[in-house]
Structure 1
Amino acid sequence: MVTPAEIRAHLLAVRLAGVVGTSREVSLRRYRLFAARDPRVLIGIDPEGIWGQRELLALMAERCGVSADPRHTAGPDVIDPERTLAALDAFAGRLREVARRGAPVLFGTGHPRPLLGFYAGLADALSAAGCEVLTPAQGRCVDILTRFGLRTHRLDYVRGVALVRETDAGRPGCEPGAHSHSPLPVRVVLEAAAAGGGPLPELVVGDHGWACGAGQLGFEAIGLADTDDPALFVGEAEGVVSAVVPLDDGVRSSYYRPLTRYVLERACLSQ
């Protein structure tokens, strides 16, 4: 059994929480872009409320533990590990409920290199518990606007987790997948599931546009988010996203393994 104290120590030791790798400058810039309703930062969320920079900073201080002082403009950002632990428990609670019902689930990540293993462990456990892990639109192409222009990506699934790969990335299946904030992939996946007459997910688990895009369409969604991803926390505040875990989403993939074990134990899914 992994205790909260052990997870808290781990979060701080590998900088998943506490002082994290995301800079204050990057976070504040993204808050400004979100306040300006830049779609690259909204990542699928259509906010109902007025979210200016002041409101966003207050929200992120509340949900993540970042400094609420607008005069603090430089240096590393900070995540309160107690908030991470509380959110992990809420995250596990939603998994426990969907496992109890044996309901269909969808996993997707825009951060495949660090987070694929975390989601795959959850997908394996839910599948073993009788949930159908959905994989619609396998191989479908999606045009995503990137900083290099419009690029065609291909939807793929690895151990039940959806991701996108650039179509010109070389031999298929060799690269870990592309980093993406876009909500377009989850929209394509959900549309394909509906068109195929198959089951629709009762829970979508992911990050970036996977969680925000699904939540905005009315699907229950939970996810992980860093201090520079305000969209998920706004979605949570407005009831569009059910649970968001604040943590650094870009460290080594092995650092998330204890979190997988902790969440599965809390969800009563560990074997």
Structure 2
Amino acid sequence: MTPAERSRAELREHLIRRRLAGPDTPTPRQKNLRSYRLFGQGDPAALMGLDPEGRWGAGAVLELMAERCGVHPGSGYGSGPDTIDPDRTLDALDRLAGLVRRTARRRGTVLAGTGHPTQLTAFHTALAQALEAAGCTLLTPARGARFREPTPDGNRACVLDYLGPVAVVRSLDGGSAKPGRTSPGTLLHTHSAQPVRLALAALAQAGEPLPDLLLGDHGWLCGAGRLGVPAGGLADSNDPAPFVGEAEGTVAVAVPVDDGAYPQCYKPLSDYVLQRADLAPYKD
């Protein structure tokens, strides 16, 4: 077995053991189906800033997610565990590595941001820092920009911040219209594309071109891809927007994987991407 084959086999085992992919991922079937229905109905949180070109009813979304993620294809299967095919995850990580490799070779500009700050920041940081070491320029525009984000409980006041090279969103007023939910400064989970729009608008106002690569998830992927930025990152089986974007050519790479695990669970994934991108050595 070659080092590359061994690395892939080891990561496949890790994905299943940590339930990042495999036959029993943490996101239940009923949650997946609900998200597919909401996407088909044009729910803003489900769209994540995407403006689909085609007609995507719940059935079409399910068909796509079965193809891209490996979820159960049957519309009659309505509850219970659902699946992410680990081989589809690995194949998508290979495509993400290709995107990273091409950016490194051209010493391009990179913007990274996450709507999952407590889970995925370290994953994006590892890729961004490796790209910087390879000669790329990391961008951190619109730091401190304030905006209001709609939520089911009302608008919440937010601010764009950075954890190292990775953009995140923090609460300014408790995180929702209902007091006591979070404290000011709390890192927020968000599907919104507003943060990436603010970041890209700040670059434009400064006379700077769009980034050569966006590393992200949720609205960062969809919002950047919609504006023409090559975008790649992780997406869960209950988040169809990045996969629809990938199918329509808006998002460059959407990697199917559970996005709610402990941060350290994603280190083998970033190690794998960097190895495949020729930015890190294979382990003996």
Q: What's the TM-score bracket when you normalise by the shorter of the two chains? A: over 0.9
Shift of 1:268: 0.7
For structure 1, the 5+ residue unaligned runs are none
2:142 alignment partner, SS class: coil
2:157 alignment partner, SS class: strand
Matched residue, 1:121? 126
What number of residue pairs does the alignment pair up? 268
Matched residue, 2:242? 232
* Equivalent-residue separation in structure 2 for 1:27 and 1:171 (angstroms): 31
* Equivalent-residue separation in structure 2 for 1:208 and 1:116 (angstroms): 13
Matched residue, 1:251? 261
How does 1:15-26 map onto structure 2 within 5 Å?
A: 15-18=19-22, 19-26=24-31
Paired residue for 1:14, among 14, 18, 21? 18
Deviations along 1:13-37, one digit per CA (max 9) or x if unpaired, are 0000012100111110111111111
Aligned AA for 1:95?
A: V
Matched residue, 2:80? 75
Paired residue for 2:144, among 136, 139, 146? 139
* Equivalent-residue separation in structure 2 for 1:171 and 1:68 (angstroms): 42
Shift of 1:171: 6.7
How does 1:1-271 map onto structure 2 within 5 Å?
A: 3-18=7-22, 19-168=24-173, 170=183, 172=185, 175=186, 177-270=187-280
Aligned AA for 2:14?
A: H
Shift of 1:148: 2.2
Runs of 4+ more than 2 Å apart? 168-172
Q: Structure 1-normalised TM-score?
A: 0.96
Percent identity of paired positions between Structure 1 and Structure 2: 53
Q: Structure 2-normalised TM-score?
A: 0.92
1:107 alignment partner, SS class: strand
2:89 alignment partner, SS class: helix
> Is the Cα–Cα contact under 8 Å of residues 93 and 267 in structure 1 kept in the other structure?
yes
* Equivalent-residue separation in structure 1 for 2:260 and 2:216 (angstroms): 14
Aligned AA for 2:74?
A: D
* Equivalent-residue separation in structure 2 for 1:113 and 1:196 (angstroms): 30
1:162 alignment partner, SS class: strand
C-alpha root-mean-square deviation of aligned residues, in Å?
1.2
Aligned AA for 2:191?
A: H
Aligned AA for 2:273?
A: V
For structure 2, the 5+ residue unaligned runs are 175-182
Shift of 1:200: 2.4
Aligned AA for 2:280?
A: S
